[in-house]
Structure 1
Amino acid sequence: MKALLPFALSLAALGAQAQQSVLTPCIDDSMVLYLDEDLVQVPMAKAYYTQVLKPTNGAPKAPAVTLTFFPDGQLYSEVTYANNTRRVQQGPARSFYPNGLLRLSYTADDGQTDGYLRTYYPDGSPKRNDLYDHGRLIKGQYFAPDGQLVEPHVPFRQDPAFPGGNEALVAHLSNHLRYPSGALRDAAEGQVLVAFTVTARGNVDEVRVQQGINPDLDAAAVAAVRTLPAFTPGRADGERIPVTMLVPISFKAPGAVKALRRLGL
């Protein structure tokens, strides 16, 4: 199972009234998302954060910037992507505290953190100074609130954890996976790659097929993943965050069915 780098933070926020006054009329509704305090998408009436895809003046390959706002209209985060269609982080990303002080700053290259990733406490004092080479940590410094260097180094990110570990995750999926009757005719086999989001609350959400085989097997794989119980949420710099996960699910046609197909039956 592979977790994707989060901190395209799932940017953030604006209240309904502020949103109406700030976003008119150049922002299409399709370019706006409403998020609760755990960065889970909700209807506008329940929103805490508002996330906006900044228009790029029609240039298809222009960098796309996603802005997130607090309820009062204060900027929470800004993340740069390659373009509107290729939603891979490319360029600077920053997030802020409600008081406007910088909280996080880093640069991404083709979706990987590259260069310095720095974070700060609410009073502006340094919290983290990590150096990356295309996603690989070269050296890191993590400071306590009193300015003392913490050893051993505290990783920036902790991925979501399934209760009982990966073996328990595999066992759960195996127990809930059913070979669909619709796939028997062709004795279909193969591996379906399923993506899902572990929310900041640990719940499994947004289950979808990343790479499929056929509609029957794809649907069976998605159904199995939807039965997963809550994870321990992922964290970035100690804060709970939503994280995209990938899990491969393999199907094998029953032996008797394959034997019949070999006989042309």
Structure 2
Amino acid sequence: MPVIGQLLTGYCAKNRQIDLFMNAVYKLLLGLLFCLPVQAQPDLAKNSQTVRRTFAEYDEEILYFGKRNQYFTVRTLLKNGSLFRQDSYQLLPQTLPNGFRLDSLSRIFRYGPTKIMYLTGKPYITCEYKDDILHGPFMVFYEDGSIKRKEYYRNGRITQSSCFTVDGVKEACTPFYQSAQFLGKPNDLSAYMKQKLGPLVDGERIRRVTATLAINEIGQVTGIGVLLNTNVSENTKMPEAVSYVQQVIRNMPEWTPEKLNWKPAFNDGKATASTCVLTVFRVYGSLQYSMFYRL
């Protein structure tokens, strides 16, 4: 974010911890996956279908319902007791009717209403999910309660969209979330990565290199995480390989002179931090390259 820092600067300046938390939550506005945080300390307050969890900056209430508790709602509460967000999920069985077994994350789908609030307690976003994708109305509000964006989704696709200024005047809509963008030519980047990493990814010692780039709000790469798919016997050489991959990315030329290589992601019209995942791998001996973005 700091999307929340720009939306609610005054409040968050008074409480940096809440600012950091809100920052993280807003980066997950559309929530791609859900995972209960492992650092939570349960306060042991359980009432058959309700679990309460206590964190340093906020609390959670998880309410299970349905004949087999296959649905649950997660309410995120600030320390003053006010609701910050509410999310709805469906819990699939461990084994599907076709015999396929699901892991713990794959079992959890967004299903039902989601609501995110301003610190004032007024709604910021309300939307509906079905089978883990947007389905139904998607509404965004200004802090005074007036409508900023009114859209309708069907199976993840927008069918209607209207946007409004603070004064209620209708205006052209831009996508609510726009991913980061590489500002050079994709073919040039692909050729560079293959040239520099091709000898490393030989398909035997190292089968795949995945680099995760942290891109900040102005398009700078602020961190590079590297994951190698390797032959176990080569693990002792991995630190050198990781450092080499990081160096290759840091030394990437400016594809447009005097300009950063990346355009930052935008969320609700505000620049936000995001990540780009670059992968170089071999398939039947042929060197391949892929790139995708995520929050």
Asked whether 1:161 is paired with 2:181, we answer yes
Following the alignment from structure 2 to structure 1, what is the Cα–Cα distance between the partners of residues 68 and 216? 31
Following the alignment from structure 2 to structure 1, what is the Cα–Cα distance between the partners of residues 112 and 244? 36
1:150 aligns with one of 141, 150, 171: 171
What residue in structure 2 maps to residue 249 of structure 1? 280
TM-score between the two structures when normalised by the length of structure 2: 0.53
Asked whether 1:54 is paired with 2:62, we answer yes
Q: CA deviation at 1:214?
A: 6.4
Q: CA deviation at 1:102?
A: 0.7
Q: CA deviation at 1:9?
A: 8.1
Change (3 A) 1:208 1:133: farther
Following the alignment from structure 1 to structure 2, what is the Cα–Cα distance between the partners of residues 221 and 142? 46
Asked whether 1:235 is paired with 2:278, we answer no
**Do the aligned partners of 2:212 and 2:278 also contact (CA within 8 Å) in 1?**
yes
Asked whether 1:75 is paired with 2:94, we answer no
Q: CA deviation at 1:62?
A: 2.1
TM-score between the two structures when normalised by the length of structure 1: 0.58
Q: Which amino acid aligns with 1:160?
A: A
**Do the aligned partners of 2:124 and 2:140 also contact (CA within 8 Å) in 1?**
yes
1:132 aligns with one of 131, 136, 153: 153
Q: CA RMSD in A?
A: 4.8
Change (3 A) 1:32 1:248: farther
Structure 1 residues 216-236: Cα deviation after superposition (integer angstroms, max 9, x where no partner): 79x879984897579544233
2:190 aligns with one of 170, 175, 178: 170
Q: Which amino acid aligns with 1:135?
A: G
Q: More strand by proportion, 1 or 2?
A: 2
Structure 1 residues 102-143: Cα deviation after superposition (integer angstroms, max 9, x where no partner): 110111122221111011000000001111111211120000
What residue in structure 2 maps to residue 93 of structure 1? 114
Runs of 4+ residues over 6 Å off in structure 1: 191-197, 199-202, 212-217, 219-223, 252-255
Q: Which amino acid aligns with 1:24?
A: D
**Do the aligned partners of 2:110 and 2:133 also contact (CA within 8 Å) in 1?**
yes
Tell me, which stretches of 5 or more residues in structure 1 are unaligned? 12-18, 34-43, 256-265
**236-245 vs 140-149, greater mean Cα deviation:** 236-245
Q: Which amino acid aligns with 2:268?
A: D
**92-101 vs 79-88, greater mean Cα deviation:** 79-88
Q: Which amino acid aligns with 2:31?
A: A
What residue in structure 2 maps to residue 258 of structure 1? none
**Do the aligned partners of 1:204 and 1:228 also contact (CA within 8 Å) in 2?**
no
Asked whether 1:111 is paired with 2:132, we answer yes
**Do the aligned partners of 1:194 and 1:222 also contact (CA within 8 Å) in 2?**
no
What residue in structure 1 maps to residue 73 of structure 2? 65
**Do the aligned partners of 2:224 and 2:246 also contact (CA within 8 Å) in 1?**
no
Change (3 A) 1:208 1:121: farther
2:44 aligns with one of 13, 21, 25: 25
Tell me, which stretches of 5 or more residues in structure 2 are unaligned? 1-27, 35-39, 47-52, 92-103, 251-260, 287-295
- How many residues are paired up? 218
Question: Which one scores higher on RCO, CA 8 angstroms, separation ≥ 6?
Answer: 1
Q: Secondary structure at the match of 1:24?
A: strand
- Aligned-pair identity (%): 19
Q: Secondary structure at the match of 1:130?
A: strand
**Do the aligned partners of 1:88 and 1:110 also contact (CA within 8 Å) in 2?**
yes
